[in-house]
Amino acid sequence: MRERLAVGLLQADLVWQSPADNYLQLADLLAEQALGLHLVLLPETFTTGFTQSTQEFAEAFPGPTLRWMQAQAALHNFTLAGSYHVREDGRYYNRFVWVHPDGDYGYYDKRHLFSMAGEHEVFTPGHARKIFECQGWRCLPQICYDLRFPVFSRSRGDYDLAIYVANWPEARTAQWQRLLPARAIENQAFVAGVNRVGIDGEGYVYPGDSQIYDPLGEPMCENEGGVTLLRAELSALQLARLRDRFPVHDDADEFTLRL
């Protein structure tokens, strides 16, 4: 496990339902700001915004967005991750895709679909909890609404960094700001949450509020708002010392997660 993991959160103003425009603007931001990072995270549905026009914008997997991510990861020598809409076997998924610089990839399909926006009527939920690796760090991928379900992200000693990619609207900013550090504290893990900014095609406003929290729930970035790439270096030594000196996991409840 690498002692320091350099993580970047690309807080972008996504162009509504326009993958080509989002490829261009995100590529420019990565070229300008992502130098020296090991892991870069993009918001949920980074190619289109949080649209329900699935039949029009969902793509085959593998497909053009995966190829774009592979090209960016190879060009900048970092791991790149974010979610977008895919179709497989007649079903649609909000899929978190994780791409290494060598082109190897994995994915996690959003488990908790946002029924209040009708997401469950369009998409199929995922049924697998995944752990990915970057520089030896174990990373738990989650998507937006997953943040509200702590059992699903409960650490069983199997991850060091929990990742939440989101289109989290301004109306529920307080919950985003409280739940992210709560997940860090209760799991004694780093937590990264990346959210978009701007106004989408449905008129919803997104404030960003992207942040990385240390295992004590303390923020690690200065976020002044707007389009930006936030960065922080995570320390494996800090994580190990906390878990060793204050081993709350020794007293944790045993449970089986049924998916």
**What are the residue boundaries of the structural domains of the chain, listed by start?**
4-250
Residues 6 or more apart in contact with residue 138 via CB below 8 angstroms: 131, 132, 158, 159, 160, 161
Q: What is the pLDDT of residue 257?
A: 80
For 71, the token pair is: 């090209």
Q: Is the distance from CB of 80 to CB of 42 less than 8 angstroms?
A: yes
226 alpha carbon, distance to own chain's centre? 18
Domain 4-250 in CATH 1.10.1660.10: no
Active site residue 170: no
Active site residue 144: yes
Active-site entry in 110, 119, 134, 139: 110
Active-site entry in 134, 139, 144, 221: 144
pTM for the full predicted model: 0.97
Q: Are β-strands 79-88 and 39-41 bridged in parallel, bridged antiparallel, or unpaired?
A: parallel
10-residue mean pLDDT profile of the chain (259 residues): values are 97 98 98 97 98 90 98 98 97 98 98 93 94 98 98 95 98 98 98 98 97 98 97 98 95 84
Q: What is the pLDDT of residue 258?
A: 79
Active site residue 110: yes
Q: Is the distance from CB of 25 to CB of 42 less than 8 angstroms?
A: no
Residues 6 or more apart in contact with residue 123 via CB below 8 angstroms: 54, 85, 91, 92, 93, 94, 110, 113
Q: What is the pLDDT of residue 55?
A: 84
Beta pairing partners, 205: 199
Length of the chain: 259
CA distance 181 to 164: 12
3-state helix, strand, coil in the chain (%, to 5): 30, 30, 40
Active-site entry in 44, 134, 139, 221: 44
